[in-house]
Chains A and B, each alone.
Chain A
Amino acid sequence: MDVRARTIRWFSLSLTVAMVAVAACDKSAPNCETGLCPSGFACNPGSGLCEVLTTPTASTSGLIGRLSAVRLSDGQLGVAAFSSQRGSLVWMRESQGDWQPSFLAGPAASAQEPPAGHTSAAVTDADGLVHIAWRRAGDATLWYGVQGPNGWQREQVAVALPGTVGAALAIGMWQGTPVIAWRGLDIQNVRVAHKVAETWVLETLPPPAALPGEVTAAVDLGRSLALVVMPTGPAIAAYEATRGDLVLAVRSGDVWNVARLAGVDTKTGADQGDVGMPVAATLGPGAELVLAYRDRQNDQVLLTRAKSGVVSHQLVMDGQRADDTHQTLRSDVLGTALSVVVLPTGLAVVAAQNASTMRVQIAAERPAGGFVSYTVPGTLQGWPTLVTQADATAACLWLDLADPAHPGAGRLQRWAVPRGGQ
């Protein structure tokens, strides 16, 4: 190919790319909900147009469901949540002791958009940018947004087919780009999408390694899941509902190694309870994988550490309490929402939903071993999430549900967790 021909070919290609880009950003671009809208614009699925993002007044009340919190590059916190009041995904950024909310998806973000953001997950990248994945419950679709200098850029993750995205999802940063894991309703398994060169690459987790004596085991994976990115690649902890086990999938190279981690004696295959619904994960110093999860039968919250092939389990919290009226012991439904962080000291902090008392309980690991538990001050509390703060302590965010103005919904609250064991 001579230089002239190569130049023409390059020019044609560039022109095509430019036309596509212009079309994508054009207000009249069709099917914008499956493509990119420019910063400051959001797709109106009703009209198929990219429309200017309005910023209606948002508040930190009228919220419901799981929170996803991150520490921003300036040390402040950011939280993604669902506004039951507006049916929309709201992003709240901490600023001078207050929260600055703005809507990211749903009718409050764009009048024609259906409710969105019932479930979301957030992560920050090395540059401090926030990446959020969320689910639109109505059509069970997966969405992704990244915070740019001029606002949010959103897109539908097209590889996640409509109608197949379950309520459990998680996001992380791998090789500088987002990786999202979610429960595929159609396959009852976990799907993973990694954005490589602006293209989402889809994978499905292989089933966990067979147990002794197991021939073909039905697998129902991912009703709860958590994702962290280790030096070797993503690691996904997920609940396997058929046997009630906690499963860990670790990617190494191009291979997912999937095995049952708890809830079963992997040597004998004997059932050891119903654990892992829900599960939370984080990375500790030295790439130590730390998982907090619920033991459903025993009303306990357990912690598992895995590093270099060595796995250890700990009891974090127990739901048992005295019933003075009957002189008996009962137990609370504990740990139905969970969050875990590991402080720079290597000590873990776990926040758990007590679904019987509607209170948030926090357990901080003591340097001498074991955990000390707190109940967060307040009355009706839901959906705790933990985040490490700039001062190397943990903050707990939750929804205060004792708001008579919004029965059944809550106001975002924050509580500094006392230093572990002190």
Chain B
Amino acid sequence: MTPHRWIAALLCCTAAGCTQQPLPLQQPLAPQLALANGLRVVLLDADLPALADSVRLAAGKSLSVSLPVWPLPNAADGQFTAFAATAPLDGLTLDWQSPQQLRLMAQIGKIQGEISLVPTGQAGCGLSWKAQSVQLQLDAEVVRTAGGALTVQAVGTPIVVWQGAAVDDPSACLGAQLPSLAVSLADHLRSGIAAALADRLSQAFLPSLATIFAASLEQSGRVAIPTTPAIEARFALAYQEAAGHLVTHAGALAQGNLAVSLDVDRHACAVDVPLPTAEASPLAQTSAPAGQAFFRRALVLDQALIQRLAWTAARSGALCARTRNSLTTSIVPGWAADLLPQVNEWIDGSPTSARFWPGSSPATRLIDTPAGPAIEWTMDDGQLEIIANVADTEMTVLVVTGGFRATLLPRLQGMHALAFDVVSVQRLATHQFSPLLGDFATPPSETALSALCEAALQGIFAQQAVLPLLALSPGPLPSGTVLTHVAHVGDALWLWLEGGQAQ
């Protein structure tokens, strides 16, 4: 999957490998399809120092400032030469100034530079200017433009506090006749240098905030489901406003909440189950993963969204699935002897394939397992078919009907993607029979049957979607974003992202 495919994959694709670009929606999705707060972008206060470091690195630890030639009030009298200096960015902090405004405070060290007064027709006379330190304050906020686009903009004007800023005129270039020029020169240099510093820091600060609360998450479109190309899925994500703001800070975190709308055509093999109506839960507080990371933030998938994604997968027909490969590697030798002793000798090797037919839409629940956070996926009515070679001919040798419960364990795929592995399967009140033999006179081994069902469902969903999240990768997020951790907090799955920077 290409990196820029994340959101379409997250919401609409039902199999890994989806590479299609979404087409525009033909009409907006109905409001009742929207799940408020389904997806959240979270920036913890604890990560603000690391974000400040990121901004400092982006701005540069040593800021170059330069001012052009400045003519005297009467230009015919002469000019000051250009000014150039280096401003060390000693420190930078970020704090939420208000529920919606993030404030950057930059501590800049000593700035010193030379400048010459060049009267017309005369030789230049050297001066210098220095400031012991300067503190610059800049506020920013995520806003929506008049055109509807999400952007980060500076709020108000930067506040600059100078310490020990003064013009040094050892050669008395300005002389007693030009004291007002000394004041003008000092003002000119302070304002010019302040503007240059503010511009430089804004260029680092605003994109950094835009990296966290990525505008690219706002997407909508329609795509064909790869496993069932005739089926179209439609989706829309939009940042929500809360009290007139798109990003709000409360407690120890700031969040941008997105409403997620999902709709999909029903495949003929899928049962007609209405869209789940569960609402997103309030966001629980948590701590960031250990260590510091640049641009660390979390994408928080509420359980209600995961349930809707499971519904999407089922409705699209993606769960009417089959293995693409033989179950050779996952089935123990002798499996048939326990299950089908009457025909065991005619079954050649491992099952050639397995198929699954959903009779309901799965219920999902976030759980914790010794291996980490997981999703419990329960299909209370399904049919699993095991196909094997009988005398060199594929036959359906076993049909298991009833409920199936799978544990889906998230797994990071490389640096960008998340997959869910079916790590275990339970049968829930299943009935099994063989089309070849009918009902079993004596029940097959429970152990062998469970192992077979687990291997079959693992095989079926190894390459296809038990959840559309299978193809998760941070595509439309800023380039360089990587997925590093997955956590279960409250009723949500937290996907920790790092790196990247918006352009």
Mutual binders A and B? yes
> Does chain A have a CB within 8 A of B343?
yes
Which residues of chain B have C-beta atoms less than 8 A from A280's C-beta? none
Residue interface bits B221-244, CB-to-A below 8 A is 1, else 0: 000000000000000000000000
A64 with B391, Cβ < 8 A, contacts A356-B396, A401-B436 known: yes
Tell me which residues across on chain A come within 8 A of B143, comparing CB atoms. Answer: none
Determine the residue in chain B with the shortest Cβ distance to A135. B392
Interface segment, B267-275, B302-310, B417-425, B445-453? B267-275
CB distance from A107 to the nearest CB of B (A): 15
Cα distance A66–B345 when bound, in Å? Answer: 16
A356-B396, A357-B435, A408-B437 given; A328·B391 CB < 8 A: no
Residues of A with C-beta under 8 A to B390 = 64, 382, 408
Binding-face segment, A13-21, A247-255, A285-293, A330-338: A330-338
Bound Cα distance from A119 to B270, whole angstroms: 40
- B174 CB–A CB distance under 8 Å: no
* Contact digits for A320-342, partner B, Cβ 8 Å, 1 yes 0 no: 00010111111101001100000
Taking a contact as CB atoms under 8 Å apart, the answer to whether B271 and A65 are in contact is: no
**Contact call B396/A327, Cβ cutoff below 8 A:** no
Cβ of A412 under 8 Å from chain B: no
Decide: B437 and A407 in contact? CB cutoff 8 A: yes
In chain A, what residue has the closest Cβ to B360?
A326
Contacts of B268 in A (CB 8 A): 328-329
Chain A residues with CB below 8 A from B392, complex form? 65-66, 118-119, 167-168
Check if A82 sits within 8 Å of B385, measured CB to CB: no
Asked if B199 lies at the interface with its beta carbon under 8 angstroms from chain A, I say no
- Check: B301 CB closer than 8 A to any chain A CB: no
**B362-405: contact bitstring with A at CB < 8 Å (1 yes, 0 no)?**
00000000000000000001000101001111111000000000
Q: Are B394 and A355 in contact (CB under 8 A)?
A: yes
Contact between B342 and A408, CB atoms less than 8 A apart? yes
User: CA A329 – CA B346 in complex, angstroms?
Assistant: 31
> Interface majority SS on A: helix, strand, loop or mixed?
strand
Q: Is B22 an interface residue (CB 8 A)?
A: no
Number of interface residues of A (CB under 8 A): 33
Known A-B contacts A328-B269, A401-B436; A408 and B393 likewise in contact (beta carbons under 8 Å): no
Cβ-defined partner of A84 (8 Å) among B346, B357, B387, B393: B346
Quick check: B393 and A353 within 8 Å, CB to CB? yes
In the bound complex, residues from chain B placing their C-beta under 8 Å from that of A205 are none
Which residues does chain A contribute within 8 Å of B381, judged by CB atoms? 326
Shortest Cβ distance from B352 into chain A, in angstroms? 9
Q: Cα distance A65–B343 when bound, in Å?
A: 12
Residue in B272, B343, B395, B437 whose beta carbon sits within 8 Å of that of A327 in the complex: B272
Q: Mark B334-364, 1 if CB is under 8 A from A, else 0.
A: 0000000011011000000001010100000
Asked if residues B394 and A328 are in contact (CB atoms below 8 Å), the reply is no
Question: Provided the pairs A84-B346, A327-B271 are in contact, do residues A66 and B396 lie with their beta carbons within 8 angstroms?
Answer: no
Chain B residues with CB under 8 Å of A333's CB are 355, 385, 387, 394-396
User: Known: A328-B268, A333-B387. Is A407-B342 also a contact (CB below 8 A)?
Assistant: yes
Determine the residue in chain B with the shortest Cβ distance to A408. Answer: B343
List B contacts of A168 (CB < 8 A).
392
CB closest chain-B residue, reference A294 = B394
Residue among A119, A355, A356 having the largest count of chain B Cβ atoms under 10 Å: A355
Instruction: Note all chain B residues with C-beta closer than 8 A to A167.
Output: 392
Are A355 and B387 in contact, CB atoms less than 8 angstroms apart?
yes
Contact-residue bracket for chain B: 20 to 34
Counting CB contacts under 8 A, is A376 at the interface?
Answer: no
Give the shortest distance, in Å, between B267 (CB) and chain A (any CB): 8
**Most chain B CB within a 10 A radius of its CB, from A323, A328, A382, A409:** A328
> Contact at A326–B359, with CB atoms within 8 Å?
yes
A326 to B267, CA, bound (A): 13
Which A residue's beta carbon lies closest to that of B394?
A: A336
Q: How far is the CA of A113 from the CA of B436 in the complex (A)?
A: 30
Known interface pairs A407-B437, A408-B346; A328-B270 also in contact (CB < 8 Å) = yes
Among B343, B387, B392, residue most surrounded by chain A Cβ atoms (within 10 Å) = B392
With A333-B387, A407-B342 known as contacts, the answer to whether A380 contacts B436 (CB < 8 A) is yes
Partner of B436, one of A118, A119, A325, A358: A358
- Cβ of B87 < 8 Å from any Cβ of A? no
Residue B9 interfacial (CB < 8 Å): no
Chain A residues 106 to 123 lying within 8 A of chain B, measured CB to CB, are: 118-119
Q: With A and B bound together, what is the CA distance between A383 and B381 in angstroms?
A: 32
Task: Kindly list chain B residues whose C-beta atoms are within 8 Å of the C-beta of A407.
Answer: 342-343, 437
Contact in complex: A382, B437 (CB < 8 Å)? no
Judged by a CB distance under 8 angstroms, whether B455 is at the interface is no
Chain B residue with the shortest CB-CB distance to A325: B359
> What sequence of 0s and 1s flags, for each residue 353-386 of chain A, a beta carbon within 8 Å of any chain B beta carbon?
1011110000000000000000000001011000
Asked if B492 lies at the interface with its beta carbon under 8 angstroms from chain A, I say no
Q: Nearest CB to that of A244 among chain B residues?
A: B324
B393 CB contact (under 8 Å) in A323, A330, A331, A383: A383
With A333-B396, A408-B346 known to touch, is A66 a contact of B391 (CB < 8 Å)? yes
* Distance, CA A66 to CA B342, complexed state (A): 19
Q: Report whether B346 and A64 are in contact in the complex, using a CB–CB cutoff of 8 Å.
A: yes
The answer to whether the Cβ of B320 comes within 8 Å of any Cβ in the partner chain is yes
Q: Across the interface, which residues of A come within 8 angstroms of B391, CB to CB? A: 64-66, 82, 84, 118, 383
Report how far A333 CA is from B390 CA in the complex, Å.
14
The CA-CA distance from A323 to B268 in the complex, in Å, is: 10
In angstroms, Cα B342 to Cα A64, docked, is 13
A380 to B343, CA, bound (A): 14
> CB distance A328 to B396 under 8 Å?
no
Chain A hits for B342, CB < 8 A? 407-408
Bound-state CA distance A168–B393 (Å) is 11
A-B contact pairs, 13 of them (CB 8 A): A66-B391, A66-B393, A82-B391, A336-B393, A336-B395, A337-B393, A355-B387, A355-B435, A356-B385, A382-B390, A383-B393, A407-B342, A408-B343
18 new A-B contacts, CB < 8 A, other than A331-B269, A356-B385, are A65-B393, A66-B391, A118-B392, A323-B357, A326-B271, A328-B357, A330-B357, A333-B355, A333-B385, A333-B395, A336-B394, A356-B435, A357-B435, A358-B396, A358-B435, A380-B436, A401-B436, A408-B346
Closest 8 CB pairs of A and B: A65-B391, A408-B343, A336-B394, A329-B268, A407-B342, A167-B392, A355-B395, A64-B391
Residues of B within 8 A of A (CB): 268-272, 320, 342-343, 345-346, 355, 357, 359, 381, 385, 387, 390-396, 435-437
